[in-house]
Amino acid sequence: MRDRRSIKAGIVLALFAALTLLPACGSSSNTDGAASDDSVNTTALDDNARQPSGAGTDQTGTSADGDTSSSTISSSTISTDPTANPGSNQNQSPPPTAAPYVPRPLTPGLAGKVIVIDAGHNGGNYSHINDINQLVDAGNGVTKQCDTTGTGSFDGYPEYAFTLSVALELQSTLQAAGAQVVMVRSDSSGWGPCITERARIGNDAHADLAISIHGDGNDAPGARGFHVLVPVTTAQNAAMVPTAQRFGSLLRDAFGATGMPLSNYLGSNGIMYRGDLGGLNLSVVPKVFIECGNMHNAEDLALMRTGEFQRNAANSIATAMANLFG
Ligand SMILES: [Zn+2]
């Protein structure tokens, strides 16, 4: 319940956040629509200033928060159905490049495994700025917003819709292979949950593996491709880091089958070590994030908005999981 005054205050805050972000959006160093957790902030924070020393050297000179650019999205133009309006992307995107189809990996290795799928951000975050801006302990000495809006394409295809589409495809694929799937969210109607809750869901499920799915929003010229965000060791997550890092490499190796290239702007050979993400710092079960592509790059976006790519992304993730457990 919100009264008129709080709504007005929220609007003012949102406008302020958008205005303060304008310079960052034009900066070539500002990127990654990454995880809310991970990344982005609607309040235009400088992520570099918050990077702990434990974070990987890969991020030197870059901000992992591509999601900051999400303020350019108007909620009135957002389509929550990623496949409903494939032709709306007219001027800036070439026709999607055909990606090879990846068969579903119905391997025995996935049977009985508990997998948590964390679709980044949420559709209601835009209308709950005060809620998602509440500060939480992200572990490893880092304080972050509860969640962020995420990024999106310039023509209004939001990251939260993309991440949910891939997450639902992955859910189907894993269930078909006999896995027990726990979804952090199964629709885009709410806000959050906070990054702390996203980690807790995996912990409480005693998951064998958890993955957080994202799309980036980097404005550096020519920046494109996918990268996997893997944890560094912190006080809470030490036991799971080796498995998570191994899975990160397997995921990097498998995801190329989607036709998306390795990132040419963040990480090293598709891997980026992060010590500032609550979803990784607070998880006691193996967890990684993936930035499936750069939604601010026309070539990446043309792929990402297709159902074929989304299925291939899901199947590539499942393949990597099967390889981990196989
Ligand atoms: Zn994100």
Mean pLDDT of 290-315: 97
Higher-confidence residue of 6 and 239: namely 239
| pLDDT range class, residue 137, cuts 50, 70, 90 | very high
The pLDDT score that the predictor gives to residue 108 is: 77
Q: Average pLDDT of 24-29?
A: 30
How many angstroms is it from 125 CA to the middle of ligand 1?
12
Q: What is the mean pLDDT of residues 283-298?
A: 98
How far apart are the CA of 311 and the centre of ligand 1, in A? 19
The predicted model gives 80-88 an average pLDDT of 34
pLDDT tens for residues 42-76? 332 223 222 333 333 223 233 333 343 333 333 33
Ligand 1 centroid – CA 27 distance (Å): 18
* Cα 5 to ligand 1 centre (Å): 30
- Listed in sequence order, the DSSP H helices in the chain are 4-25, 47-50, 129-132, 159-176, 195-204, 241-255, 278-281, 298-304, 307-325
Phi and psi torsions of 90, nearest 5°: -15, -85
pLDDT confidence of 21, banded at 50, 70, 90?
very low
The pTM of the full predicted model, rounded to 2 decimals, is 0.75
Set 159, 169, 197, 291: catalytic member = 291
Of 280, 325, 35, residue with least CA distance to 180 = 325
Taking 70 as the threshold, does the pLDDT of residue 33 lie above it? no
What pLDDT, in 10s, does the model give residues 153-163?
999 999 999 99
CATH number of 4-78+98-325: 3.40.630.40
Each residue of 116-132: pLDDT tens digit? 999 999 999 999 999 99
At 209-225, the pLDDT tens digits run 999 999 999 999 999 99
**Distance in Å, CA 292 to ligand 1 centroid:** 10
In Å, how far from its chain's centre is CA 165? 12
Cα 145 from Cα 74, distance rounded (Å): 21
pLDDT at 14 exceeding the cut of 60 = no
For residue range 149-201, list pLDDT tens digits in order: 999 999 999 999 999 999 999 999 999 999 999 999 999 999 999 999 999 99
Helix (H, G, I), strand (E, B) or coil at 289: strand
**Has 291 been annotated as catalytic?**
yes
Centre of ligand 1 from the C-alpha of residue 30, in Å? 13
pLDDT digits (tens, 9 = 90+) for 245-266: 999 999 999 999 999 999 999 9
Helices assigned H by DSSP within 120-260: 129-132, 159-176, 195-204, 241-255
Confidence at residue 52, expressed as pLDDT on a 0 to 100 scale: 30
Tell me what pLDDT residue 105 has: 57
Distance 57 CA to ligand 1 centre (A): 21
Q: Which pLDDT value is given to residue 22?
A: 31
**What is the DSSP code (8-state) at residue 57?**
G
Around Cβ 78, how many Cβ atoms within 10 Å? 17
Q: How far is the CA of 284 from the centre of ligand 1 (A)?
A: 21
Tell me how far the alpha carbon of residue 34 lies from the centroid of ligand 1, in angstroms.
3
Instruction: Express each pLDDT in 88-119 by its tens digit.
Output: 333 444 555 556 666 665 677 899 999 999 99
Exposed/middle/buried for residue 131 (C-beta within 10 Å: 0-12, 13-18, 19+) = middle
For position 124, what pLDDT does the model report? 96
Quote the ligand 1 centre to 150 CA distance (angstroms).
5
For ligand 1, an ion, list residues with CB under 5 A: 33-35, 67, 120, 150, 214
